[in-house]
Structure 1
Amino acid sequence: MDKLRRPLWGLIVLLIGIGLGSCKTTQPRTSTAKPPVEESPRISIQSELPVLPESASQQVITRIQQKAPFDPIEQVIQESQARFLQGEKDLKAGFLEKARKNFDEALEIILRSGFVISQEERLERHYEGLLDRIHNYELAALKEGDGFTEERYESAPIDEISSGELPLTFDPKSKILAEQTLKKVPHDIPLALNDTVLRFLDYFQNNGRKAMEAGMQRAGRYRRMISQILAEEGVPQDLVYLCQAESGFKPLAYSKARCKGLWQFGAARGQEYGLRQNWWIDERSDPEKSTRAAAKHLKDLYQQFGDWLLAMAAYNTGPGNIERAIERTGFADYWQLAKRSTIHPETQKYIPIILAMAIISKDPGKYGFEVTPDPAVTVDKVHIDSAIDLRLAAESLDIGLSQIQDLNPHVRRLTTPRNDLEFTLYLPEGTKEKLLHELAAIPEDMRVNWRLHRVDEGETLSAIAKKYRTTPSAIAQVNSLNERRNIQVGEKLIIPVTPDRGRGASPIIAGSWVRHKVKRGDTIASVARDFDVTSAQIRKWNKLGVNTRLRLGRVLVIHPPELMAKSSPPDNTSRQGASRHSDGANEKRTRVVHRVKKGETLFAIATNYKTTISSIRDWNNLSQNESLKAGDRLTIYLGR
């Protein structure tokens, strides 16, 4: 068996060898050498990995996570700037008193911060920038008149009435009463009766009663004047109720739509019809001129639309809106336009409001109203081309300031415009000649500053002079009085209130501060002398160091004992003939030389320097009859 197995295994091995040989390729085998395997370097556990750059998102996250350090100076600047910007907004909106308060607070924030301004460059730059900008705003305001003086205005009734809650239904009795009224009283515009008109009739007898009564009462003031102008312009008399709806006969009424006056003119429409609006006046509040303008405007609208209801609707919403509504619907009828809501919702109420007011006003007793109209305003008109203070006008006529203001609601300031030949000043009837007579004694260029004073019991020239910050001798001279003579109770005196004449422009007064802009030659010591304060005080108020020098144009904040800047004219040579022999008292006082300006008088100069006319005459050897000429030089000794 073993012998048989050996050949069998040999045969198997041979067959396997033959099979393997048949699988070889015909090409010779090429051997490929394996590259030597390098041993990888061992990484030390202690070695640092390379730092990769942060992505943009990672950088943003890092900045958010890292809080910026607190900067107290920047916070003060931001708070101050916010107040200043609010002041600018108030100024542009016409809220002058608010603007002044915000400007002052912007500066106070810095002064209260505790920082020494001169030692912090950013704070000093911001502070001085604010002072310059506020100074320029105030200077511009003062040049125009009263500076930061708030203008008067009242709310317009049309706003309240249009937004009032209208009854959903009406009392049937109102319809019966209205029908009786229309049969009984004449009317020259179509007084339609429909649901909306009847609902407004109920409204004015209930929730709107107060507005209705106020308008009916004030109508007495202007009804006669309005009726006359409407007749002269050839338009319906019942248009007076449009005025009642718009303003309640309040000349200072001002609406949310920025319309003003009895007839609620917008600025552009007012200018179109000749109503001037500037710093001094706003003729939209002139009762007579605005009535004339409204009559002309309504007449033009009637000629355009051929229907008084459409004309009144166009007066409210503008003629363009009515034209487009007519084009869209094809109806040239107010009620059809309102029914289709193609006109503004306020205009849909506007005509019913006017008609309801007209119906009640024509027969008020029938609707439960018992109102006594105010007396008619009757006036004299005077044209004065020189500026005049309304207080002077009131004092000249022995009436209160409020009375003269009520007659002149179009005057926006306490001063009338300068060199305006078209301006009309309204006075109580019969007083024109009295005013002109009183003004004749006052130079034209002093009618803004001078006043009239009626002597009360116990008053003396000295007391009156102190009240108006002038001198007894100045009052005596302009009134041709002996300074030693007793004045009589009831006597009327001209008071020469002289405006400040500081070096250069007058300082700007704000609250208890005076802001002085540094001029060439100014030093801290010289400014301190001018304002009767100490150098230390000026340094303290303005955070100035001991060695700080004043820069030309810098604005200093000063708190003088009185809000009156003292003059110190910079001339160096005296008037020829001036006394060269001053007594010992004068030698101890500060000596200045004043160059006489055109129109100046001795009493004005004496008042400005807080001295007396007789002293100036003595110092300069002037006789009683010697007059001054422009260019003369006067020696003045300041009593400090």
Structure 2
Amino acid sequence: MNKLIVFMLIVIYSPCCSAQHKIKSPKIPSRLSFAGEKVPLENQDVWEQLDKELIVNQNYHSSTLLILKKMNRYKEKIVKILKENNIPEDFFYLAVAESSLKDKAASHAGAVGLWQFLQKTAGDYGLEVSDTVDERRDLEKSTRAACRYLHDSYKKFKNWTLVAASYNRGVRGIQEAIAKQKVDSYYKLYLNSETARYVFRILAFKLILTSPSDYNYEFDRSTSYPTYKYRVIKVDRSIEDLPDFSLKNNTTYKDIVLHNPWIKSGKYNLEVKEGKVYEILIPED
């Protein structure tokens, strides 16, 4: 036992180990904005909030590195849809904060997908959730639905930072906080702990993912996960046997559900409602 204790002390205090585990204070820029709106870093509370979120996410190595690797596969597609709908590009980082770019991300509260829609909200914004389909896990459809939600929120607040906060707290929750506290700035509102951190978490991801080397990530972009090329099959009638459908189209059931995460796995069939048309992506070699 004494030998084990001595060995552990040597490991902990050896120069090589201490160097490997050295944690640096995060770099905070002198100026920062979200969706074109100034972040008041001259306010000490704001500065500290951002500092805390950078410390957490800068040192959450495995998760952040996986996001960096997946960005190549997701960012261009999502940003393109945001721009088409006149939503500021910075809202891409909201999706990162919500789901870590996991198509099938699911919360304990029942929120699902890249944009973490609850089932009722998904229905309100035109996303289908059925026994065999969950369009909250469809990148394009869920992003377009998120754009509609964000626009509706902007009509109420006329401020993108408050829109981002409302994505976490709800429009009514932010409206009530503004009415009771008589201030209309996110940075001046006293909010529940999760929403108080929320925009700062988005900002932390923006900084880290834009300049990973500034936050101790030696990220080789050549190791990014590649994008895929697809052929598209339009389906307007139910498929009773997805594995059989896959083989007939020179692919596998595994590839079908991996590249079309909106199809619920384990069902082996796809119910198509009358008048509905789905696009199934088939990866090309």
Tell me which interval the TM-score lies in, with the shorter structure as reference length: 0.7 to 0.9
| Aligned-partner residue type, residue 78 of structure 2 | I
| Aligned-partner residue type, residue 427 of structure 1 | L
Correspondence for 1:374: 225
Q: Following superposition of structure 1 onto structure 2, how do residues 305-384 of structure 1 map, counting pairs within 5 Å?
A: 305-337=157-189, 340=190, 343-369=191-217, 370=219, 372-384=223-235
Correspondence for 2:276: 422
**Distance change (3 Å), C-alpha of 1:430 and 1:214:** closer
**Distance change (3 Å), C-alpha of 1:378 and 1:317:** farther
Correspondence for 1:122: none
* Shift, 1:284, TM fit: 0.8
1:277 aligns with 2:129: yes
Contact 1:380–1:428 (CA under 8 A) maintained in structure 2:
yes
Contact 1:273–1:293 (CA under 8 A) maintained in structure 2:
yes
| Aligned-partner residue type, residue 415 of structure 1 | N
How many residues are aligned here? 251
1:199 aligns with 2:52: yes
| Aligned-partner residue type, residue 287 of structure 1 | L
Measured against aligned partners, the alpha-carbon deviations of 1:63-89 in whole angstroms (never above 9, x if no partner) come to xxxxxxxxxxxxxxxxxxxxxxxxxxx
229-238 or 386-395, larger mean C-alpha shift? 386-395
Rounded to whole Å, the distance in 2 between the matches of 1:396 and 1:179 is 55
Rounded to whole Å, the distance in 1 between the matches of 2:34 and 2:181 is 29
**Distance change (3 Å), C-alpha of 1:296 and 1:377:** farther
Q: Following superposition of structure 1 onto structure 2, how do residues 121-270 of structure 1 map, counting pairs within 5 Å?
A: 173-174=25-26, 177-179=27-29, 188-190=35-37, 192=39, 193=41, 194-206=47-59, 208-270=60-122
| Aligned-partner residue type, residue 261 of structure 2 | P
Q: CA RMSD in A?
A: 2.3
| TM-score, normalization by structure 1 | 0.37
Measured against aligned partners, the alpha-carbon deviations of 1:301-341 in whole angstroms (never above 9, x if no partner) come to 1121011110011111110000000000111100111xx3x
Larger Rg: 1
Contact 2:123–2:129 (CA under 8 A) maintained in structure 1:
yes
* Shift, 1:400, TM fit: 3.2
SS at match of 2:281: strand
SS at match of 1:254: coil
Rounded to whole Å, the distance in 2 between the matches of 1:252 and 1:318 is 22
SS at match of 2:224: coil
Correspondence for 1:387: 238
Measured against aligned partners, the alpha-carbon deviations of 1:221-274 in whole angstroms (never above 9, x if no partner) come to 221211111011001011100001111111111001210001000111111100
SS at match of 2:28: helix
Contact 2:134–2:263 (CA under 8 A) maintained in structure 1:
yes
Measured against aligned partners, the alpha-carbon deviations of 1:198-224 in whole angstroms (never above 9, x if no partner) come to 111111222x22221122222222212
* Shift, 1:398, TM fit: 3.1
Residue segments in structure 1 that go unaligned for 5+ positions in a row: 1-170, 432-640
Contact 1:219–1:244 (CA under 8 A) maintained in structure 2:
no
SS at match of 1:179: coil
**RCO (CA 8 Å, sep 6+): is it higher in 1 or 2?**
2
Rounded to whole Å, the distance in 1 between the matches of 2:36 and 2:206 is 10
Rounded to whole Å, the distance in 1 between the matches of 2:151 and 2:232 is 26
Contact 1:246–1:264 (CA under 8 A) maintained in structure 2:
yes
| TM-score, normalization by structure 2 | 0.81
Contact 1:215–1:248 (CA under 8 A) maintained in structure 2:
yes
Rounded to whole Å, the distance in 2 between the matches of 1:391 and 1:377 is 21
**Distance change (3 Å), C-alpha of 1:390 and 1:191:** farther
Rounded to whole Å, the distance in 2 between the matches of 1:191 and 1:375 is 34
Rounded to whole Å, the distance in 2 between the matches of 1:321 and 1:360 is 29
* Shift, 1:283, TM fit: 0.9
Residue segments in structure 2 that go unaligned for 5+ positions in a row: 1-22, 42-46
* Shift, 1:429, TM fit: 5.5
SS at match of 1:428: strand
**Distance change (3 Å), C-alpha of 1:419 and 1:307:** closer
| Aligned-partner residue type, residue 48 of structure 2 | D
**Distance change (3 Å), C-alpha of 1:325 and 1:362:** same
SS at match of 1:406: helix
| Aligned-partner residue type, residue 345 of structure 1 | S
Measured against aligned partners, the alpha-carbon deviations of 1:386-439 in whole angstroms (never above 9, x if no partner) come to 2223212331343332221111111123211144432423223669xxxxxxxx
**Distance change (3 Å), C-alpha of 1:188 and 1:376:** farther
Rounded to whole Å, the distance in 1 between the matches of 2:244 and 2:113 is 26
